[in-house]
Amino acid sequence: MNRINQKLKEDKKLLSIYFTAGYPNIDDTVTIIQNLEKSGVDMIEIGLPFSDPLADGPTIQASSTQALKNGMTSELLFEQLKAIRQSVSIPLIIMGYFNPMLQYGVEDFCKKCQEVGIDGLIIPDLPVDVYHSDYKATFEKYALINVFLITPQTSDERIQYIDSVSDGFIYMVSSASTTGAKVGFGKEQIDYFERIAKMNLKNPQIVGFGISNNDTFTQATKNEKGAIIGSAFIKHLTNKGVKYFDSFISAILGKH
């Protein structure tokens, strides 16, 4: 069974952390992954930096720009991750845009993911219908889960279709804006969380965008399986470095 599906079966609310590969420094990727697992996170999203990251807010965009300046590429990321499964056991997901994967070759990219132990991909600009018709068989051949995003604007019909094509979790974007930390969620977002929960989808949902502290984590996971933190963690990396994540993660989970 894929590690993502195993993790989703656990009787707890899940915390997934996103960071940009090659940031702050080109060689930090493995250290960050190992230290995140030690600090108690459930899943890690490794961002593959791209020059035109449409869904990302300023914090993640800045980290992508720096990672590209540092020299991060798909090839280098796979090289860095080649021994990661000797030290890390939690699910690892690559989040990136489709263009670098196309340039690499979709099948070659998927094959490399399987070789190094990647469990899934999140590709915000790959439409679900294109994935379904052109790439699903390739992803399944290499045992990769593809995770799709929904927003408050996604129609129920589209959500049902995404649910039918998915085999892992659905990434619930908390708002229609780009990524970034929020102070709290408003009524519109809470209503959206409750609306999706009532749809009884077969795939659990994990909420991303705007989660930065225990309050937003608790709100996001009241009806859903877990939450993803990106911008707030990258700010922590920028300010504190790649070593000590325990206090950051404990604060999110309310374990002071």
pTM of the model: 0.94
Query: Taking residues 185-198, what's their average pLDDT?
Result: 87
Contact 109, 101 (CB under 8 A): yes
The candidate with the shortest Cα–Cα distance to 253, out of 35, 10, 17, is: 17
- Tell me the C-alpha distance between 84 and 89, whole Å: 9
Q: Which is higher by pLDDT, 227 or 182?
A: 227
User: Strand 205-208 to strand 226-229: parallel, antiparallel, or no bridges (unpaired)?
Assistant: parallel
- How high is the pLDDT of residue 52? 72
Average pLDDT over residues 148-164: 96
Choice among 28, 42, 56, 119 that is catalytic? 56
Out of 28, 37, 42, 45, which one is annotated catalytic?
45
Rounded to a whole number of angstroms, the CA Rg of the chain reads 17
Residue 57 contacts residue 231 (beta carbons within 8 Å): yes
Task: Reply yes or no on whether 56 is catalytic.
Answer: yes
Q: What is the DSSP string of 224-244?
A: SSEEEE-HHHHHHHHHH-SS-
Provide the pLDDT for residue 255.
80
Structural domains counted in the chain = 1
Distances from the Cα of 138 to the Cα of 106, 124, 131, 133, 163, angstroms? 8, 18, 10, 11, 19
Cβ neighbours for 115, distance < 8 A, ≥ 6 positions apart: 78, 82
- Taking the C-alpha atoms of residue 51 and residue 223, their distance in angstroms, rounded to an integer, is 35
Does the annotation count 79 as an active-site position?
no
Query: 100: pLDDT confidence band, cut at 50, 70 and 90?
Result: very high
Nearest Cα residue to 95 out of 82, 113, 115: 113
Integer Cα distance of 2 and 158 in angstroms: 25
Q: Which domain holds residue 55?
A: 3-7+14-253
Return the percentage of the chain with pLDDT > 90, whole number.
Answer: 80
Q: The domain spanning residue 63 has which CATH number?
A: 3.20.20.70
Q: How confident is the model at residue 244 (pLDDT cuts 50, 70, 90)?
A: confident
